Structure 1
Amino acid sequence: MRNLNFNHLRYFWAVAHEGSLTRAATRLNLSQSALSVQIQKLEHQVGHPLFDRIGRKLILTEAGQIALDYADTVFRAGDELMSTLDGRAVDRRQVLRVGALTTLSRNFQLEFLGPLVGRSDVELIVRSGNIRDLLAQLEAHAVDVVLANSAAPLDARSSLRNHLLNEQPVSLVGRPRPDGRRFKFPDDLRTEPVLLPSLDSDIRLAFDRVLELAGIRPTILAEVDDMAMLRLLAREREGVTLVPPIVVRDELASGLLVEHCRIPEVTERFYAIVKTRRFPNRLLADVLDRP
């Protein structure tokens, strides 16, 4: 049975949190060469490289991220021991790091994280960004899963995997019409102004194709790449707004907005993108393996 050297683990923990061998050596009052030897001994002991050395940068490998999570737990446990003996409360939690596309529906994100929200043993870290930055973080093991409304591009060598979570209809929503008239799609778009997602959106492109086939060029009030902002504008502006109903679920339930019509053959897909790992975060099963 292999026994872990906790001095080596402490040195690794310091380097991982400092992100620099130089800063960690200064903090630990060691030479860089001595600290490097200690890290190498730990890597030999656990049987995996813990850092990728790219120039002067140290980037955690998958095993390194797992080791850091456990090291955080180990040294947090020491703090908890002292807290317990001092009569203070302790907190033991697992961590799930989620990257979410900036433009993604907040309601969808909340639905995805629902099984973990409110659990006292779970800490959720949610980071927003564009898809390129989020996938880079996923590759670097800085997040455990990326939520997006388009699949990650894959090839035969890719270690990424796309999980299709849901497929939602896309609708035109707006304030209730004072005269009670039913919305006639697509003809009413010849006169009714519309709020649209930006051209970066798959649903916008699909919607434009539908209108092009119908020979309609609508009056566009605004093009917005943030679903949260599109939701606010739908509540405040006249005209109709192109959104998946989940985005304005609360407004539809309250009657502030109504669903005028669903757009035929236009849907939005929601994906969870993960990286194939030898040591997957166990919390992922709670949000991915649901009926």
Structure 2
Amino acid sequence: MSTINLHHLRLFRAVARDGTLTGAARALNISQSAVSTQIKALEASLGHDLFERMGRNLVLTEAGRIALDHAEEIFRASENLAATLKSAGARRQVLRIGALATLSRNFQIGFIKPIIGREDVEAVLRSGVQAELLRALEAMAIDVVLTNLVPARDAASPYLVHKLSEQPVSLIGTPDPGLQTRSSRELFQTQALILPTPESALRASFDALLEQLGVVPRIAAEADDMAMLRLLARANAGLAVIPPIVVRDELEAGTLVEYARLDGITENFFAVTLQRRFPNPLVAETLGAFTPGM
């Protein structure tokens, strides 16, 4: 394999950042044809196309995304040679994680726990809505999506769905000795409830349970964000229908208590990836190291 020309690599990085040959050529003060020629030379040297055209813009292929990661690493090293030598040439890896904005923060921390504190790994976390995150996954801007919603799939679906954990769901609130001996049905009938919003799978399961029991709830609040459900429970707005993992710290401290486990209702957590020709090894490593207890 021929030696990579660092000048070509610098031009490649400029095009990747700008998204056009014209803009990159203008920034580098060279001709567009020269940039195009040297990008083609780099692609020939690596044996892979680095860009594909989308309208007027150039977007990175999967090989291009990997090449850009390495290019950034090479130039960071050249700009900070002394620090690189002191670290004995250790190479930092990047794991890009997208998480549903409403997902439990404890679950997210549990997922990245195996790589926390590693000097050779940088974790980049983004949050957003599911559709946005899946688009980023397909564009290879992130490596894995954490969610409690299974993406729609068919025979042509590109997604690989890994079920990480199935967590119980409980009725949780601030300490009240008078509630400790009551059944879940009595609690449903007498206490204000803090519930997930109706579009969630968890709420659908809970509504089915109430219908089976013939109970009409008194709803104090609804939220689509696990963190908000947690805060409402802490503020004594009512009893929250929530997985204990979300309020693990409060349960351990005694600021919240579990009054009833809701049998038959669970919250599932998933990691969504793509089948890639050049997979990020940290994805398989993190999935393999994850423990359901979080």
For the criterion TM > 0.5, the same-fold answer is yes
Alpha-carbon distance change, 285 to 88 in structure 1, aligned in 2, over 3 angstroms: closer
CA gap 1:267/1:41 in 2 versus in 1, 3 angstroms: same
5 Å matches for 1:142-291? 142-179=141-178, 181-290=180-289
1:83–1:90 contact (8 Å) kept in structure 2: no
Q: Distance in 2 between matches of 1:77 and 1:192?
A: 60
Tell me the residue number matched to 2:13.
13
Structure 2 CA distance for partners of 1:121 and 1:212, relative to 1, 3 Å: same
Cα distance between partner residues in 1 of 2:88 and 2:36: 37
User: Aligned partners of 2:37 and 2:82: how far apart in 1?
Assistant: 31
Secondary structure of the equivalent of 1:115? helix
Residue 230 of structure 1, CA deviation: 1.1
* CA contact 1:107–1:247 (8 Å) conserved in 2: yes
Q: Offset at 1:126?
A: 0.2
Counterpart residue type for residue 63 of structure 1: A
After TM superposition, give the deviation of residue 238 of structure 1 in Å.
Answer: 3.7
Q: Which residue of 1 aligns with 2:117?
A: 118
Rounded to whole Å, the distance in 2 between the matches of 1:181 and 1:149 is 30
Q: Which moved more, 1:139-148 or 1:118-127?
A: 118-127
Counterpart Cα distance in 2 of 1:164 and 1:144: 16
Task: Kindly state the Cα deviation for residue 81 of structure 1 after the two structures are TM-superposed.
Answer: 2.0
Between the aligned partners of 1:129 and 1:180, the Cα distance in structure 2 is 37
Q: Please state whether the residue corresponding to 1:58 is helix, strand or coil.
A: strand
Kindly indicate whether the alpha-carbon contact (under 8 Å) linking 1:175 and 1:238 is maintained by their aligned counterparts in 2: no
Which residue number in structure 1 is paired with residue 36 of structure 2?
Answer: 36
Distance in 2 separating the partners of 1:191 and 1:265: 22
Taking a change above 3 Å as real, the CA distance of residues 264 and 15 of structure 1, as seen in their structure-2 partners, is: same
Native 8 Å contact 2:84 2:90 kept in 1: no
Are 1:70 and 2:64 an aligned pair?
no
CA distance in 2 between partners of 1:186 and 1:15 (Å): 63
Q: CA deviation at 1:150?
A: 1.9
Distance in 2 separating the partners of 1:181 and 1:81:
63
Query: For 2:241, what is the secondary structure of its paired residue?
Result: strand
Report the CA distance shift for 1:215/1:77 in structure 2 as closer, same or farther (over 3 A). Answer: same
What is the CA–CA distance in structure 2 between the aligned matches of 1:238 and 1:79, rounded to whole Å? 54
Question: Per-residue deviation at 1:50?
Answer: 1.4
- Which runs of at least 4 in structure 1 moved beyond 6 Å after TM superposition? 87-91
Q: How far apart, CA to CA, are the structure 2 residues paired with 1:183 and 1:25? A: 73
**SS at the partner of 1:154?**
coil
- Tell me how far apart the structure 1 counterparts of residues 93 and 119 of structure 2 sit (CA, whole Å): 9
Counting only pairs closer than 5 Å after superposition, residues 64-103 of structure 1 correspond to structure 2 as 64-81=64-81, 92-103=91-102
- Give the CA deviation at 1:39: 1.8
One-letter code aligned to 1:239: G
- Counterpart Cα distance in 1 of 2:69 and 2:40: 19
Partner of 2:163, secondary structure, is strand
Show CA shifts across 1:115-163 (max 9, x none).
1111111111100000000000000000000000122222222222011
Q: 1:85-109, CA deviations, whole angstroms, 9 ceiling, x for partnerless residues? A: 8x99998521110000000000000
Distance 2:17 2:182 in 1: 57
Contact 1:138–1:145 (CA under 8 A) maintained in structure 2: yes
Alpha-carbon shift at residue 263 of structure 1 (Å) = 1.1
Quote how far apart the aligned CAs of 1:177 are. Answer: 1.5
What is the match of residue 58 of structure 1? 58
Q: Flag structure 2 segments of 5+ consecutive residues without an equivalent.
A: none
Unaligned runs of 5+ in 1: none
Q: Look up the match of 1:26.
A: 26
Amino-acid identity (%): 53
Equivalent residue number for residue 127 of structure 1: 126
Q: CA, structure 1 residues 135+230, in 2 after alignment: closer, same or farther (shift >3 Å)?
A: same
Q: Contact 1:80/1:90 (CA < 8 Å) preserved in 2?
A: no
Aligned equivalents of 2:179, 2:211: Cα separation in 1: 28
CA RMSD of aligned residues (A): 2.1
Three-state SS of the structure 2 residue aligned to 1:199 is coil
2:118 is paired with a residue whose SS is: coil
- 2:280 aligns to what SS in structure 1? coil
Deviation at 1:35, TM superposition (A): 1.4
Shift of 1:223: 0.9
